[in-house]
Structure 1
């Protein structure tokens, strides 16, 4: 019985670690992960189309990572994160390069597989009426003060002199 259990559990030791590696770990220890096949997860906050492929910028707990992928893989990404949107959260499997020779020696991640884990959505940001009113009041107060001080001077103001009023 023990031999059967051992035979069943032994292969589990050789399986790779399940789950995504935090981008922070890749950025802090790039040489440790260089050239290895990994899975990372993050929100897509940028997209740049090139002839050969697509750059996606992932953000994972404030840590960015550039991901180079084929155009077919990038088609799955629908929402890019910005001020008004939370981007798609993706899980990318590929090879991490601490100093990528193909892309100028910068650290990057070459995607082999991309899966959208959760779709992005629009963020509703209600307008703060108190802040808008206060801003408008301060703008008008500043403008009227500037005009008043300018009219008190004896120099012409936009082609008008104080005597012409």
Structure 2
């Protein structure tokens, strides 16, 4: 049985009316709908094949590497970094320690030192603007916990502008936490070495006096 004959037989079954004329009309409409659907299924893949790949989505082998990717790293990793991070945009978090030093021949910039907060005591000098340092309320020192900053900028393994110094040229500085005064309770164990040295000195004095008295 041909495909059209099968469609016509189905039309006789599902025709809305039982007359022969209505069944034929329904069969013709049903066959036309099937033909249009089949043509659409054939035409769509052919259109996709003729369209081809999007030329704007091509890989350019001549494109130079882009350093706009931000490496969220740590100060201790920068201290031991190799040439891979040289010239890359990095982001670090650290405590401001020491003092602010004005940059030579550049009155709008200054140097600050960031120390790692992971206990490694690693440091990195940061060149930033004077305006960016307005968020610093405390510079870390004995009895003071410095302001913690998040700094994003370009890392130079051997900066040609600053005598080969490994530094970070900041492009963005944000506050993480404010500094504060730190009061440490006296530790009695720190006095033990001094007390032992004093006792050892007294013992040597007594021994020396005893040896001098015995010679008389």
Provide the TM-score with structure 1 as the length reference: 0.66
Over 3 Å counting, the alpha-carbon distance change for 1:67 and 1:121 in structure 2 is same
Equivalent positions of 1:6-21 (< 5 A) are: 20-21=72-73
Whole-angstrom distance in 1 between the partners of 2:193 and 2:90: 50
Aligned partner of 2:210 in structure 1 is 152
1:96 and 2:148 are equivalent in the alignment: no
- Tell me the CA shift for residue 25 of structure 1: 4.0
Conservation of the 8 A alpha-carbon contact between 1:42 and 1:90: yes
Q: Report the Cα distance in structure 1 between the residues aligned to 2:112 and 2:162, rounded to whole angstroms.
A: 14
The residue number in structure 1 matching 2:168 is 109
CA separation of 1:22/1:135 partners in 2, compared to 1, >3 Å: closer, same or farther? closer
Find the partner of 2:196 among 138, 147, 157.
138
1:57 and 2:109 matched: no
Q: Do 1:47 and 1:54's aligned partners in 2 also have CA atoms closer than 8 Å?
A: no
**Equivalent residue number for residue 22 of structure 1:** 74
Q: 2:99 aligns with which of 37, 43, 47?
A: 47
Q: Does the Cα contact within 8 Å between 2:87 and 2:156 map onto a contact in 1?
A: yes
Cα distance, 1:104 vs structure 2: 1.1
Gaps of 5+ in 1: 1-15, 156-161
Aligned-CA RMSD value: 3.1
Cα gap change, 1:106 to 1:142, in 2 (>3 Å): same
Preserved CA contact (<8 Å) 2:71 2:89: no
Q: Quick one: higher RCO (CA 8 Å, sep 6+), 1 or 2?
A: 1
The alignment partner of 2:158 has SS state of coil
Relative distance call for 1:140 and 1:74 in structure 2 (3 A) is same
Larger Rg: 2
Tell me the distance in 2 between the aligned counterparts of 1:153 and 1:83: 46
- Return closer, same or farther for 1:98/1:18 CA change in 2, 3 Å cut-off: closer
- Counting matched residue pairs gives 141
Question: CA 1:154 to 1:22, structure 2 compared with 1: closer, same or farther past 3 Å?
Answer: closer
